[in-house]
């Protein structure tokens, strides 16, 4: 009993007997309002606890020997697919010419309709003669023939390859027996008014390099990389490199999660939906891209664990010029050099830094409980003060009326 008495003296929550309590209508109203306020604030605390934010970190990129995936979707409304050539090269000396693996060329109807005609390019050499004498050996018209065919050029493609190997322009195959037999020129005329959509993906070394889309078959010499531009410039149709970049990304895309507050996470690619127009054949578009490795770590996932997303983001600046040189039409003080290859060029550089976007909770569970206690205690304290003031004010008003 004595022990209970000692604990009783420590009670900070003294009670009043039921008969000493006074209940008022104003107190009931204050209580109801207090409960509503407490519920509203506790719900806000819970939503704040459940909210996910993205914390960006900047570290040195230690990845080595990686491949850089490039995803692209570009439309050329005034350039047929037979003139489209995609090449890749980098500072390591690796070159990919006439890339077709992973790239799909879709023929488009005449501008402005630009509707898909076929998902495959016209086979310019489909009409090969199968009835030729087995001992037939076609001439290569001055170019060295392929060794694997004993120096014979039996098809139009063989002659084209022989010319490309020698660095000679080929044209539309006029006067070449093999090309006339395969109706090569007729196939070119068939596609003359069409456009082309280039879509797919590339895998390149993660070093400084460039990829470009230019007209004509490409070939490299020890001194330079060139394209056979004869078909492009000699065509009766005024081909140009007006283009629309529907999408351009490096690596897999980041998730578009509406619960994430950071707009930096939303992987909007700066070249998406970009359109560039020109009326000149000899025109060059250049995009200079800075690629930054980016990791996205969902809640509870660390680097290297399943669920971590490795991708890349980039910034870009662009430049365009007429290959005829001279004064820039938009900037009179700028002079352009003469010469070059018409086309669309993408030069990319790799940043040595890496961005890590990490999902985290804004509040811990302990902070949530602390906030709830603060909300309840603070609301009830303020409500008690308001109720006391209203009650005492009412007593004084009644005393004044009675007096």
| Residues paired with residue 316 on neighbouring β-strands, in sequence order | 289
Q: Tell me the pLDDT tens digit for each residue of 168-215.
A: 777 777 778 878 887 777 777 778 888 999 999 998 998 999 999 999
Query: Does the structure show a pLDDT above 50 at 265?
Result: no
Distance of CA 232 to the CA centre of its chain: 31
Contact 355, 56 (CB under 8 A): yes
| pLDDT for the residue numbered 258 | 39
| pLDDT for the residue numbered 160 | 81
What are the distances in angstroms from CA 249 to CA 31, 114, 243? 58, 24, 17
Q: Which residue has the higher pLDDT, 403 or 116?
A: 116
| pLDDT for the residue numbered 200 | 92
| pLDDT for the residue numbered 17 | 64
Query: Does the structure show a pLDDT above 90 at 274?
Result: yes
Structure confidence at residue 224 as a pLDDT band (50, 70, 90): confident
Q: Which residue has the higher pLDDT, 228 or 313?
A: 313
CA Rg value for the chain: 37
Measured distance CA(81)–CA(102) in Å, rounded:
16
The percentage of the chain sitting over the pLDDT mark of 90, rounded to a whole number, equals 21
Structure confidence at residue 11 as a pLDDT band (50, 70, 90): low
pTM above threshold 0.75 = no
Measuring CA to CA, which residue among 60, 47, 108 is closest to residue 353?
60
Count Cβ neighbours within 10 Å for each residue of 221-232 and write b for 16 or more, e otherwise.
eeeeebbbbbbb
Query: Does the structure show a pLDDT above 60 at 23?
Result: yes
Average pLDDT over residues 283-309: 86
Query: Does the structure show a pLDDT above 50 at 165?
Result: yes
Chain mean pLDDT for the chain = 81
Our separate counts of H helices and E strands in the chain read 7, 17
| pLDDT for the residue numbered 56 | 87
Query: Does the structure show a pLDDT above 70 at 133?
Result: no
Average pLDDT over residues 285-313: 85
Reported as type and span, the H/E element at residue 230 is helix 230-234
| pLDDT for the residue numbered 180 | 80
Contact 28, 272 (CB under 8 A): no
Query: Does the structure show a pLDDT above 70 at 16?
Result: no
Query: Does the structure show a pLDDT above 90 at 333?
Result: no
Average pLDDT over residues 52-67: 83
Count Cβ neighbours within 10 Å for each residue of 312-330 and write b for 16 or more, e otherwise.
bbbebeeebbbbeeeeeee
Return the number of other C-beta atoms located less than 10 Å from residue 216's C-beta: 24
Measured distance CA(350)–CA(306) in Å, rounded:
25
Stretch among 136-145, 191-200, 209-218, 263-272 having the lowest mean pLDDT: 263-272
| pLDDT for the residue numbered 263 | 46
Contact 43, 368 (CB under 8 A): no
Q: Which residue has the higher pLDDT, 130 or 283?
A: 283
Average pLDDT over residues 66-70: 87
Q: Which residue has the higher pLDDT, 403 or 315?
A: 315
Question: Which residues make Cβ contacts (< 8 Å) with residue 282, sequence separation at least 6?
Answer: 322, 323, 324, 342
Measuring CA to CA, which residue among 265, 268, 266 is closest to residue 247?
268
| pLDDT for the residue numbered 158 | 84
Average pLDDT over residues 213-223: 80
| pLDDT for the residue numbered 364 | 84
């Amino acid at each position: 009993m004595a022990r209970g008495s000692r604990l009783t003296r420590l009670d900070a929550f003294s009670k009043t007997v039921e008969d000493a309590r006074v209940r008022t209508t104003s107190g009931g109203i204050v209580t109801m309002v207090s409960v509503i306020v407490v519920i509203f604030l506790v719900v806000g605390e819970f939503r704040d606890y459940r909210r996910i934010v993205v914390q960006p970190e900047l570290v040195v990129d230690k990845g080595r020997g990686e491949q850089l995936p490039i995803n692209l979707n570009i439309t050329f409304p005034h350039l047929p697919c037979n003139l489209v050539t995609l090449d890749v090269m980098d500072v390591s000396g690796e070159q990919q010419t006439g890339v077709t693996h992973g790239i799909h060329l879709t023929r488009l109807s005449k501008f402005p309709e630009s509707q898909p005609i076929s998902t495959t390019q016209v086979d310019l050499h489909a009409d090969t003669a199968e009835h030729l004498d087995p001992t037939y050996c076609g001439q290569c018209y001055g170019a060295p023939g392929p060794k694997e065919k004993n120096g014979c050029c039996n098809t139009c493609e063989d002659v084209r390859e022989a010319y490309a190997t020698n660095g000679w322009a080929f044209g539309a195959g006029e006067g070449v027996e093999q090309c006339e037999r395969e109706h090569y020129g007729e196939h070119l005329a068939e596609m003359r008014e069409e456009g082309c959509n280039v879509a797919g993906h590339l895998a390149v070394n993660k070093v400084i390099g460039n990829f470009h889309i230019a007209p004509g078959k490409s070939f490299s010499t020890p001194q330079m990389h060139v394209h056979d531009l004869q078909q492009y410039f000699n065509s009766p149709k005024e081909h140009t490199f007006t283009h629309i970049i529907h999408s351009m990304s490096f690596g897999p895309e980041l998730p578009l999660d509406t619960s994430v507050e950071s707009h930096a996470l939303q992987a909007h690619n700066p070249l998406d939906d970009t359109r560039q127009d020109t009326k000149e054949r000899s025109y060059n578009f250049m995009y200079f891209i800075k690629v930054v490795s980016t990791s996205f770590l969902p809640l509870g996932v660390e680097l290297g664990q399943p669920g971590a997303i490795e991708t890349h983001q980039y910034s870009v600046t662009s430049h365009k010029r007429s290959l005829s040189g001279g004064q820039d039409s938009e900037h009179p003080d700028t002079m352009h050099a003469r010469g070059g290859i018409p086309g669309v060029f993408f030069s990319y550089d790799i940043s040595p830094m890496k961005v890590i976007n990490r999902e985290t909770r804004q509040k811990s569970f302990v902070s949530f409980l602390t906030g709830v206690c603060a909300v309840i205690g603070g609301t009830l304290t303020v409500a008690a003060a308001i109720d006391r003031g209203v009650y005492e004010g009412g007593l004084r008003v009644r005393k004044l009326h009675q007096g």
